[in-house]
Structure formats: C-alpha cells, structure tokens
A and B are shown apart, each in its own frame.
Chain A
Amino acid sequence: GPKVLQIPSHQIIDMGQMVTLNCDPVSNHLYFYWYKQILGQQMEFLVNFYNGKVMEKSKLFKDQFSVERPDGSYFTLKIQPTALEDSAVYFCASSLRGGRSTLYFGAGTRLSVL
C-alpha cells in the first residue's frame, strides 16, 4: 500500500535544543497530519496541514511547535525549545482528500528528550 516515510526513526536530544522531525508523505497526497503517542498510551491528534497552512491544531500543539512543507518537500514538525514532556513517538500521516479519506501513517519517530 501507500507508504509514508519518517526520518529519523529515533532522535535523542537534550532538553532545550531544537529538533526537526521529517516526513515524506505519499506522493499524490495533499493533506498532512502529525499525531503523538506517549509510551503505552493512545494516539493523539496534534495538527493537520493543507495548502501550506495549519487547518486545525489541538491543545497538545504548543507554541514551541511548528509545521511546514517548504516547496513540496518533507513535511516537518519542529519543536523549539524541547521539553522533557515532549518525549514520545510522533507519527506523520497523509491523505489524498480531506474528510472521509483514509489516512496512511508512517512508522513514527521516537523522540527522547533528556
């Protein structure tokens, strides 16, 4: 099936540093999403993105978070500065259409903030 690639698979950084998580969505998809999964807990919606803009974000999407997809390349999630509670697995997803459309997820990036 369609593949979403996430790079890197694991990132370890010191608290206060900046981190950028990269996502290569399915090639013809137009809608992009980030979800967060703390170990052993359910997946939670962070943000969705379309046509260069954030469409909706949750309360988990703190001011330190930002997303972009410059020039149709990687869809990125940047956290600056990072905090200990940002440690989690971050999943990127994409879909062809907005509503009523299957989301395809990447394998996730495990972020460890020390």
Chain B
Amino acid sequence: GDQVEQSPSALSLHEGTGSALRCNFTTTMRAVQWFQQNSRGSLINLFYLASGTKENGRLKSTFNSKESYSTLHIRDAQLEDSGTYFCAAEAVGASSSFSKLVFGQGTSLSVVP
C-alpha cells in the first residue's frame, strides 16, 4: 500500500496568505525531501530533512520521524508559488548504499490575486 499520504490534494490561496501541507507516513522514514514542480515540469528542491525544522524564506518544513509526518508551511504566498508540491520520503531499513524515495501524491497549489 501507499507509504506516503499527502494532503490536501489541491489548495487555493490568496496572495499574502499561508497554509500548510502535510505528509503522513505509514512506515518509519529516515529522511524527507520536499519539491516544487513548476509549470514546465521541473522539480525544484525545497528541503532535505533528516529531523527537525528548516526554514528558507517564506517556507518552513518540519520532519518528525517518531510521529511519522512532515509538514511544509508556506507564508505570504506569491503568484510564483503556484505549482505542485511533492514530499518524498526515504525509508528506514533501506540499504545505506542508496536512496530510494517514495513520493506523495502531490498538492496542487494555486495562488490567486
């Protein structure tokens, strides 16, 4: 079954507002990455977290391995933030020789004036 459950599937924000995206994991994960997929389809790296919280500009992400979730907070949303956001998690117990990411289903974010 799906190991990564991402919500919401779609989100509309007015410019200047904020919200949070969430990924729940059904198995223990040791790290998570967040990506923005823009209108051209490119995946832009936002965060890599093995634990704790990171912040970059208007974005902040938290990863709690024990409680099996990660969040991405967007504040003061801008039009260029529109796109699809994916979390991708790396499973504990996977060989340390390589990474195998399991992606969430994505959140389609529309920022409107």
Contacts and interface: CB of A to CB of B under 8 A. Distances in A.
B104 A101 contact: no
Contacts of A41: 105
Contact of A31 (B42, B48, B99, B104): B99
Contacts of A42: 86, 103-106
Contacts, number: 74
A56 B33 contact: no
Interface residues of B, number: 27
Given A42-B106, A91-B43, A102 B33 contact: yes
B41 interface: yes
B86 A100 contact: no
B101 A45 contact: yes
A102 B86 contact: no
A18 interface: no
A51 B35 CA distance: 27
Nearest to A89: B41
A98 B99 contact: yes
B74 to A, nearest CB: 20
Could you say which interface size class chain A belongs to?
20 to 34
Contacts of B41: 89, 107-108, 110
Contacts of B31: 100
A57 B100 CA distance: 10
Given A91-B43, A105-B43, A45 B95 contact: no
Contact of B40 (A31, A56, A103, A107): A107
B102 interface: yes
A14 interface: no
B90 to A, nearest CB: 7
Interface of B: 30-31, 33, 35, 40-43, 45, 48, 50, 86, 88, 90, 94-106
8 contacts: A35-B103, A42-B106, A89-B41, A91-B43, A99-B97, A99-B98, A99-B99, A105-B43
